[in-house]
Structure 1
Amino acid sequence: MNTITDKRIVSDIDPFSEEFRADPFRYYAQLRALGPIVWLEKYNIWVVQHYAQVRAVLTDWKRFSNAGGGGLTNYFTDKNWRQPSIILEVDPPAHDRTRKVLMRLFTPGALQKMRTEFTGVAQNLVDNAIERGRIEAVSELVSPFPMKVFPDAVGMPPLDRDMMLVYGGMVFGAFGPRTPWYDQLLSRADEVGAWIDAHCERTALTPDGLGAAIYAAADTGEITHAEAKLLVRSFLSAGVDTTIDSIGLCLRALAEHPEQWALLRADPSLARAAFEEATRYDSSSQSLFRTTTEAFEFEGQKLDKHQKILVLIGSAGRDPLAWDEPDKFDITRRITQQIGYGAGIHACVAQMMARLEGEVFFRALAEKVNRLETDGPSTLRLHPGLRGLTSLPIALDGKH
């Protein structure tokens, strides 16, 4: 039920429910119809769902802070289970110093080296999938790609990396309310935290990876060595799960839209555009939070200090005020106002890598695969956190 009380637009929609997560887009339309900012009475939080307001909140870090945490928990008033990220959960001036170190990693030379290495991995995975013909794509094709190339680029030696996914679930699961599922994950916090901590040590990383470059910044005094370790940790947590889910959702969109797959198959140079459109159309990062730093009026509503603002990135990507035919998946769409990676100073720091991984993956797929179609229903993850698939059966065969 949606009502208007004392000029405050109120909704009982629960953005963390399984019903919402199973089909968020119809709820997004309902929220957009209510106005630019809505009060969600179940959690006593504000929500913005139009492109204009989403961008306005994300680019105004002085009033909408990241330091309050990217999830429902309010770091200004409640303690979190882990130390806040020194890149994702801080604001300037501290944020400027650490982000500068990470942004310097992505030189043209470094990205070209990654492209070459990523391409070899993607081609091998696609070849193996073609040999099998019918696969469960999430576990057999999608997940192995970022789980291999991203930690390799950071400098993590080959080992069992599944613990990274458990850690990612703990990080991104914190975006929503506490649930039995999340409490069960947190029961492993000490074990998982110790594993991550050990593998972010300088001695655990290869000397030629991105992790070593972060520690090199500590050698010159730009950051401390303790901060270097925390940056490696944040980098690893932010760069695997999001890309797995993004690639999986893009693959499903292509398999479900044969006319779009035909376009990509005929012109593999559209791979980057296809991944970009999928990020708008069905982003792995559907939402995040900001926290007000003071009391002020926004879009006609009085916001109090330290209130949580739910920012619906996924809704902004389907806003008809910002996009023509927003519910249409069109890989030829020219996207000049992407919101899927966030916006402003806290936009995804590893988005260049994510885009490169997506481009390389789908180019390899388009160059080698002829038939691509679903081979049964896909399954969505319904827990709070990132949007992603737990299974995607597909059938494919190679070009002759």
Structure 2
Amino acid sequence: MTTPVEVVAPASVKGDPYSVENITNPYPLIQRIREAGPVCWLEDIGVFAVGGYEEVWEILTDFETFSSAGGLGPKDIRKQAAWRPPSILESDPPTHTVMRRALAGVINPNVSRQLRARITEPADSLVDRVLAQGEIEVISELAEPFPLKVIPDLLGVRHEGREALLPYGNIVFNAFGPENAILTRAAARADELSRLILESCTYESLDPDGLGVRIWDRVHEGLITDEQAQLLMRALLSAGVDSTVLAIGNLLAVLAERPEAWARLRREPHLAKFAIDESLRFESPFQKFHRTVSADTVLGGVRLPKDAKVLLFLGAANRDPRKWGDDADTFDLDRNASGHVGFGMGLHQCIGQPIARVEIETLLQSLLERVESIEPTAEFEPLVHNSLRGYARIPVRLIPA
């Protein structure tokens, strides 16, 4: 006989996760969210919240109960129109299954391995250039230029319009939060940027040698529609640039502040992959987004009604001591960080993850070969963003090897 689950009221937690204070330093609030229980109620914004690894993992892997089709923001886009057509991130099966299958032969680990040979030279060239400068700002001179070249070149996107990629992605991910001043500033050119991106994703705009035309081949095969091909291209461009920029920045910020870790990586470069996963766990670029409850359910003893929004704190799950140990708030090269949810988990795990990993590792290896040490030259400036965590500025001095 199954023991009935005791239903309890969720504990209330005060604090607005979208305030500038909690965005630039989210960890005190997310610790309170974790400690409040499996599910809590965030008073300031009126939403259920989950920050424990076990509960976040359960929601991410149960797409039937916790739907993405309602949107990743606080608004239910099934009932209120979104500012753009929903992407693969904002879909459930069967639509999601069809779109994901269309990508299977285009973006996969084998393609990513082939990519490494194509991007090693651009990575080396970029590192040589910034090393010659000595003092650099990591985000604008290293973390942004590399993905902005690699991803559009890989997909065969024309050069005209690439300047829209970063500001467009900034809108996309800020829209996973509330309609606050942060989103208002980001969305000032939303219509124009959305048009430029979609124009860059049409079949006629793509280089025939790029991977983008292979997505359009799925249209010609009858697997997906024209609109779905454009949406898949759009998803790859937005997710493949912004989150990778921040992942590179966060990794280098962590290592700049820990010279002993940089020195060890230079001695043991095979640890690069472990350093990347540990950084994605420790300073997760993707911090939080919503799911929509598709049917009345109980999670962690708390009743969640149909159509309720649940705010998932990936950054909290990635520092949950119950999963990672008492030193979860410490960056540790010896930790096995596999299983982190920095790229999501389950059905909606990041579609560009294989490419992002190759990009980050290739750039890191090039830096390890050429740079003796990375020295901060001023305080790092945190990025003020509704859903992503990273830095607006990382000023450092690169010491040649």
Task: Please report the TM-score for the alignment, with normalisation by the length of structure 2.
Answer: 0.95
1:95-244 → structure 2 map (5 Å cutoff): 95-107=96-108, 109-159=110-160, 161-244=162-245
Return the alpha-carbon distance in structure 2 between the equivalents of residues 111 and 296 of structure 1: 39
The 1:160/1:196 distance shift into structure 2, 3 A limit, reads: closer
Work out whether 1:369 is the aligned partner of 2:363.
no
**Range with greater deviation from structure 2 (158-167 or 278-287):** 158-167
Note the alpha carbon deviations across 1:210-241, whole angstroms, 9 max, x for none. Answer: 21110011111111222211211121111100
Return the alpha-carbon distance in structure 2 between the equivalents of residues 181 and 337 of structure 1: 31
Asked if the contact 1:271/1:360 (under 8 Å) is kept, the reply is: no
Residue type at the aligned position of 2:125:
N
**1:108 Cα shift?**
5.1
**Range with greater deviation from structure 2 (236-245 or 72-81):** 72-81
Gaps of 5+ in 1: 1-5
Return the alpha-carbon distance in structure 1 between the equivalents of residues 285 and 15 of structure 2: 21
Return the alpha-carbon distance in structure 1 between the equivalents of residues 17 and 274 of structure 2: 29
Note the alpha carbon deviations across 1:153-172, whole angstroms, 9 max, x for none. Answer: 11113345221111111101
Asked if the contact 2:296/2:303 (under 8 Å) is kept, the reply is: yes
Work out whether 1:289 is the aligned partner of 2:290.
yes
User: Corresponding residue for 2:302?
Assistant: 301
User: Corresponding residue for 1:316?
Assistant: 317
User: Corresponding residue for 1:58?
Assistant: 60
Work out whether 1:329 is the aligned partner of 2:338.
no
**Range with greater deviation from structure 2 (255-264 or 104-113):** 104-113
User: Corresponding residue for 1:43?
Assistant: 45
Note the alpha carbon deviations across 1:93-140, whole angstroms, 9 max, x for none. Answer: 111110111132134552233101221111111111111111111111
Gaps of 5+ in 2: 1-7
Task: Please report the TM-score for the alignment, with normalisation by the length of structure 1.
Answer: 0.95
Counterpart secondary structure, 1:153? helix
Asked if the contact 2:113/2:358 (under 8 Å) is kept, the reply is: no
**1:185 Cα shift?**
3.4
Counterpart secondary structure, 2:89? coil
1:329-348 → structure 2 map (5 Å cutoff): 329-348=331-350
Work out whether 1:33 is the aligned partner of 2:35.
yes
Counterpart secondary structure, 1:321? helix
Return the alpha-carbon distance in structure 2 between the equivalents of residues 189 and 180 of structure 1: 15
Partner of residue 81 from structure 1, selected from 80, 83, 99: 83
Residue type at the aligned position of 2:244:
T
Return the alpha-carbon distance in structure 2 between the equivalents of residues 142 and 81 of structure 1: 28
Q: What is the total number of aligned residue pairs between the two structures?
A: 393
**1:25 Cα shift?**
1.2
Asked if the contact 1:58/1:343 (under 8 Å) is kept, the reply is: yes
Asked if the contact 1:272/1:358 (under 8 Å) is kept, the reply is: no
